Structure 1
Amino acid sequence: MEQKGRGVGLVLFPCPLQGHINPMLQLASILYSNGFSIIIIHTQFNSPKSSNYPHFTFIPIPDGISDVLDSISDGFAFLSFFNVNRAVPLRDCLLRLLSDGAKEAERIACIISDSVMHFTQGVADSLKLPRLALRVSSTASFLAFTAFPVLRLKGYRPVSDSELETEVSELPPLRVKDLPAYNMDNIEKECQFVGSMVNHVKPSSGVILNTFHHLEESELAKFGQEVPIPIFTIGPFHKLFPASSSSLLSQDRSCITWLDTQPPNSVIYVSFGSVASMDEAEFVEIAWGLANSECPFLWVVRSGLVHGSDRIEPVWPDGLLELMISGGKGCIVKWAPQQEVLAHPAVGGFWTHNGWNSTLESICEGVPMLCRPCFGDQKVIARYVSHVWRVGLHLEINRLEGGEIVRNIRRLMDEKEGEEMRERVASLKEKAEVCVRKGGSSYESLQDLIARILSF
């Protein structure tokens, strides 16, 4: 491969959450393969595993998170704290890098930062350093964020129980209940945060999207109208560079050996990501539903999956765990190599929280989904999975119940409805593969991104 960026350094600054670190490090690897030198500035909290990337330079900055972590109860509070408190350490670090780069004759072309780290635009502006924003979720979800002021004026934020099923005319096919939500206890602060994120993407030197043209064609057109800056649609990142080595959690590969013993398309893989959690009653209903579905399953039960507990193992009702794994019908692990799991021929369905990384990985491996979004823009993504791309079922019941779980697993895994979804997602898989090949839309957009960086 031609090393177009040789002699040019890039600074990347990820948001320190697993679902944000993965795509940032994938992007870093894509750019490194095109000759750019990579510097990762990162927090000490959730520090990336630098030993997995010996060709990158990793620089930690003080984050102050450990001092307040116990008082930060949700992701929204975490991101709000970070955006208020980290400008000075980041600016000091960039100043040193810019000075060192001048001495070593390798110029720093720009900083690439996660769009939720909106404070980085002000830091970059103060140093006259171009900033590219990385958006790690869907284009559709960002459009929902840009519409927040209008939605607030129309009374859709905060969400009213009487309007949950109302269609949002500005954002078809979303309903009020599908709108992104992070902090329902303080809508004013949430709207301010979202507004700052959107407003600090617009003056950036460009935005990088982890999606592909055929998946969100109409949404990308609207995005271009809302954000009139260069847009680089170069996803799916993981098709260009796998994310397994950037996992913050230790992967249990015994599940791959178990999958090898299962028939093709027979297993439902169940994982709710690295952050989402549920109460004990819901956890038990899921367990009974999986046990009674008579469908082989691989379930990721990580530490913290159940509210208020950081135990590695949850408390199981008497006999339930034994029932679930008896006869090799089920496999339970603390964390799995997800991309490899979804690519395994035994996996025929994915019960997911619809984080964007998980959703893209499922689409790219042709695996239909059972959708149970938890927070944030996952509800937007789940709505698109079920009603736009039609490659999944959306579990919209308020409280999960074992019998309903069994019914939906069978719809997905055994019935004609699920088979039709499998055919549609297989078509999307093919389109994703075409996009990243030479001449494809993502390939060409990557060339445009490289040219943009070299122009700084």
Structure 2
Amino acid sequence: MEPRKGRRLALFPLPLQGHINPMLQLASILHSKGFSITIIHTNFNSPNPSNYPHFTFHFINENLSECEATTTDIFALLKLLTIRCVEPFRECLSKVLSDMSEEPIACLISDAVFPFTQAVADSLKVPRMVLRTGGASSFLVMAAFPFLRQRGYFPIQDSKLEEPVAELVPLKVKDLPVINTSEPESFHQVVDGMVNGTKASSGVIWNTFEDLEQPAIAALRHQFSIPIFPIGPFHKCYSSSSSSLFTEDRSSISWLDKRAPKSVIYVSFGSIAAINETEFLEIAWGLANSKQHFLLVVRPGLVLGTEWLEPLPNGFIENLDGRGHIVKWAPQTEVLVHSACGAFWTHNGWNSTLESICEGVPMICMPCFTDQKVNARYVSDVWRVGLQLEKGLKRGEIERTIRSLMVEKEGEEIRHRVLQLKDKANMCLRQDGTSCQSLESLVTHILSLE
């Protein structure tokens, strides 16, 4: 019997905030192109299906204990998910494929960090594409890990952190996209698995655009024998604020409404990063001493060993005299587009970096792990749309960096460059823009898969 062909897609995100958002944005983009969407998702960190009435949701049980689900060791969580999801995912996808009441599945799109989905897709005879939720430049570095191991860059030595990686200009050794773990070899296996799983797929979708990362995209097209589709920035097509795992504090916007244009530095380190109490106090005092207005996001769990703001000395907030506003979570895309937002102090996760560029907001970079380190180096040294805190978290250095960006000539030049990139981001989404053309190519490619 001839296999049925359809315009239904099955999407399977990695269940972390920075991965769920772009996958659901991609789902909306593809839905607008006439595809029906089925989302396969873990019960862990699951979005509310009622926010997406035009999608069909299937949930799988990954059997994480409460302790496992709340761990601060993100690499340990990733390894657990990779093991626990295999069989539930296989059973769910098999069931979806065999449901004759629904349109046939044309393609599976999985997060690149779930390479086991390739073997499952092969066994069920369904094409698999991947979404890489990070940038192309950082992925190019990860693809070079075997070469970098041969050249002796790994394991990373503290004495060489400031040395250049000659083969990957302008990176320094400290910028290589690793994570602090007691199992570095296991981490390398995960990265190699992601890269090889991507190479084995029927194509890779990127939340980026040609004018931002053209050299990396060109290099990947040369190295990989699969089609590559840079169709970003996703969030400019479809917002997925309703997929936030945190409750957004709307007071952020009403507070910004009372501030002068470009006068506020927005500070947020994403949904996963953690800092210690000493680092938090240096950040707080650096912000206070800069005399600039700031909106600071301190999500519960950001400061290790604390509930929320207990480390701040008595009277700290009162002495700011209204210059600072602290919340547990903010509606980030709304904050960045707000006229009062003059800079973004960020951990340089790819979503945050891209959102800042798209709104023409200069950055202060404080990367924590993996691709964030590469993103930060590109922000400061390649695109030159931000400043890095190179010398660690010291209140004097923080104050100087903030003032350089907010009130000095260096900040004006950076702002001019980021506004040029903002224009390019807008142009790529126009009818004749590179991302728009790449999306049309993606649709054609999906419909050609067998």
Q: Judge same fold: TM > 0.5, yes or no.
A: yes
Give, in whole Å, the separation in 1 of the partners of 2:437 and 2:182.
Answer: 44
Choose from 405, 424, 444 the match for 2:437: 444
Residues 54-453 of structure 1 mapped to structure 2, 5 A cutoff: 54-66=53-65, 69=68, 72-100=71-99, 103-104=100-101, 106-309=103-306, 311-324=307-320, 326=321, 328-398=322-392, 400-453=393-446
Structure 2 alignment gaps of length 5 or more: none
User: Offset of 1:66 from its aligned partner?
Assistant: 2.4
User: Offset of 1:67 from its aligned partner?
Assistant: 5.6
One-letter amino acid matched to 2:428: C
CA contact (8 A) 1:302 1:334 kept: yes
1:209-265 per-position Cα deviation (integer Å, ceiling 9, x unaligned): 000000001111111122220001100000111121221111111111111111111
Tell me if 1:14 matches 2:18: no
Which of structure 1's runs of 4+ aligned residues deviate more than 3 A? Answer: 70-73, 312-315
One-letter amino acid matched to 1:417: E
CA contact (8 A) 1:212 1:236 kept: yes
CA contact (8 A) 1:178 1:380 kept: yes
Give, in whole Å, the separation in 2 of the partners of 1:56 and 1:184.
Answer: 37
Deviation larger for 235-244 or 203-212: 235-244
Give, in whole Å, the separation in 2 of the partners of 1:277 and 1:404.
Answer: 20
Change (3 A) 1:203 1:318: same
User: Offset of 1:450 from its aligned partner?
Assistant: 0.6
Give, in whole Å, the separation in 2 of the partners of 1:89 and 1:111.
Answer: 16
User: Offset of 1:7 from its aligned partner?
Assistant: 5.4
Give, in whole Å, the separation in 2 of the partners of 1:66 and 1:131.
Answer: 30
Paired residues, number: 445
Change (3 A) 1:213 1:70: closer
One-letter amino acid matched to 1:323: N
Give, in whole Å, the separation in 2 of the partners of 1:352 and 1:76.
Answer: 21
Give, in whole Å, the separation in 1 of the partners of 2:164 and 2:101.
Answer: 57
Aligned to 1:3: none
User: Offset of 1:38 from its aligned partner?
Assistant: 0.7
User: Offset of 1:70 from its aligned partner?
Assistant: 6.3
CA contact (8 A) 2:106 2:127 kept: yes
Aligned to 1:37: 36
SS at match of 1:21: helix
Give, in whole Å, the separation in 2 of the partners of 1:68 and 1:352.
Answer: 28
Structure 1 alignment gaps of length 5 or more: 1-5
CA contact (8 A) 1:45 1:66 kept: no
1:306-327 per-position Cα deviation (integer Å, ceiling 9, x unaligned): 0133x24443212212223x2x
SS at match of 1:42: strand
CA contact (8 A) 1:303 1:313 kept: no
Change (3 A) 1:185 1:32: same
- TM-score normalized by structure 2? 0.96
Give, in whole Å, the separation in 1 of the partners of 2:310 and 2:133.
Answer: 31
Give, in whole Å, the separation in 1 of the partners of 2:69 and 2:10.
Answer: 30
User: Offset of 1:376 from its aligned partner?
Assistant: 1.2
CA contact (8 A) 2:21 2:243 kept: yes
SS at match of 2:211: coil
1:38-60 per-position Cα deviation (integer Å, ceiling 9, x unaligned): 11110111011212111111111
Q: Percent identity?
A: 60
Give, in whole Å, the separation in 1 of the partners of 2:323 and 2:162.
Answer: 38
CA contact (8 A) 1:183 1:190 kept: no
SS at match of 1:270: strand
One-letter amino acid matched to 1:76: F
CA contact (8 A) 2:16 2:45 kept: yes
SS at match of 2:37: strand
Give, in whole Å, the separation in 1 of the partners of 2:326 and 2:102.
Answer: 52
CA contact (8 A) 1:268 1:297 kept: yes
User: Offset of 1:26 from its aligned partner?
Assistant: 0.3
- TM-score normalized by structure 1? 0.95
SS at match of 2:106: strand
User: Offset of 1:453 from its aligned partner?
Assistant: 1.1
User: Offset of 1:184 from its aligned partner?
Assistant: 4.0
User: Offset of 1:355 from its aligned partner?
Assistant: 0.3
Change (3 A) 1:89 1:169: same
SS at match of 2:91: helix
1:161-207 per-position Cα deviation (integer Å, ceiling 9, x unaligned): 22212211221111111001124422211111111111110010000
CA contact (8 A) 1:49 1:248 kept: no
Give, in whole Å, the separation in 2 of the partners of 1:354 and 1:195.
Answer: 23
